[in-house]
């Protein structure tokens, strides 16, 4: 077990702290994260209003940074006018990325053509602002790669990675980071071979809270304090020491998002 008093510093590179799952006790959730060494959190915006709420949280808690954008599930509601608003929000230095954006052809909650349109617009926006992107991909790996290459901008992180080794290698060569969620703690996960092949300087960790709670909390509400279980599992798989991986993944996320302090 990892002592909560150890001086490791962790970065939960992707969570959704605006989720109503935390509406009653966000302060406790953030304090528990702090107590387990999570010094940095990036809360990812899902649409226009959620992005604004995410930024609001950054000013309530020192440890929180955010990304702003439109999730593929919300792409049907995306309009070009949002880009102007995102540009204004991005002037706030707690905004560290554009997203989460990407393609989700598993759920298809928004039409594929709308997802593509919103994704391309957000790549252009990230490029214009020189910000990294937070990219969500589900059942859309070749389509995502095609769009990224057509737009020629390769800065950011593939969050909650669930693809294969070959795709990860290609994305890393282009310049992307890969973020691993609690799903690595579920038995028989194919991600194990992906992380064994990865250069450590591209590895990030996340909870995607309130979803995907890692073992031993699988099935419960997830929260940033649980990110250490994901790192423990990665440390076992890679046969590395927990605190050095904590340092590496935190440095990687800070570099990816341009956080200096
Ligand atoms: Ni997410």
2 in any annotated domain: no
* Segment 159-198, tens digit of pLDDT: 999 999 999 999 999 999 999 999 999 976 789 999 999 9
Distance, CA 188 to ligand 1 centroid (Å)?
23
Distance, CA 52 to ligand 1 centroid (Å)?
16
* Segment 80-135, tens digit of pLDDT: 899 999 999 999 999 999 999 999 999 899 999 999 999 999 999 999 999 999 99
190 in any annotated domain: yes
Distance, CA 111 to ligand 1 centroid (Å)?
19
223 in any annotated domain: yes
Alpha carbons 229 and 70: distance in angstroms, whole number: 29
What percent of the chain is predicted at pLDDT more than 70?
97
Structure confidence at residue 187 (pLDDT): 77
Query: At 38, phi and psi to the nearest 5?
Result: -80, 100
Distance, CA 73 to ligand 1 centroid (Å)?
11
Alpha carbons 167 and 21: distance in angstroms, whole number: 33
Distance, CA 100 to ligand 1 centroid (Å)?
7
> Domain count of the chain?
1
1 in any annotated domain: no
CATH number of the domain within which 163 lies: 3.20.20.140
Alpha carbons 258 and 67: distance in angstroms, whole number: 12
Distance, CA 85 to ligand 1 centroid (Å)?
21
5 in any annotated domain: no
Provide the residue range defining the domain that includes 141: 10-257
3 in any annotated domain: no
65 in any annotated domain: yes
4 in any annotated domain: no
């Amino acid at each position: 077990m990892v002592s909560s008093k150890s001086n490791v510093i962790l970065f939960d590179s992707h969570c959704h702290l605006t989720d109503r799952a935390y509406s009653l006790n966000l302060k406790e959730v953030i304090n528990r994260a702090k107590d387990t060494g999570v010094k940095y959190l990036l809360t990812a915006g899902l649409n226009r209003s959620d992005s604004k709420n995410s930024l609001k949280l950054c000013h309530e808690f020192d440890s929180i940074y955010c990304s702003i954008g439109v999730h593929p599930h919300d792409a049907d509601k995306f309009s070009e006018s949002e880009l102007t608003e995102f540009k204004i929000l991005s002037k706030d230095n707690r905004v560290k990325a554009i997203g989460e954006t990407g393609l989700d052809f598993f759920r298809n909650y928004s039409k594929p053509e709308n997802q593509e349109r919103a994704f391309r617009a957000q790549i252009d926006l990230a490029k214009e602002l020189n910000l990294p992107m937070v990219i969500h991909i589900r059942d859309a790996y070749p389509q995502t790669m095609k769009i990224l290459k057509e737009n020629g901008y390769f800065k950011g992180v593939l969050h909650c990675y669930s693809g294969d080794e070959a795709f990860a290698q290609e994305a890393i060569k282009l310049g992307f980071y890969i973020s691993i969620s609690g799903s690595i703690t579920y038995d028989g996960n194919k991600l194990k071979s992906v992380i064994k092949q990865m250069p450590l300087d591209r590895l990030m960790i996340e909870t995607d809270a309130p979803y995907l709670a890692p073992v031993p909390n699988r099935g419960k509400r997830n929260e940033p304090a649980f990110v250490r279980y994901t790192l423990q599992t990665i440390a076992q798989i890679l046969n590395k020491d927990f605190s050095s991986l904590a340092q590496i993944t935190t440095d990687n996320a800070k570099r990816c998002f341009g956080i200096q302090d």
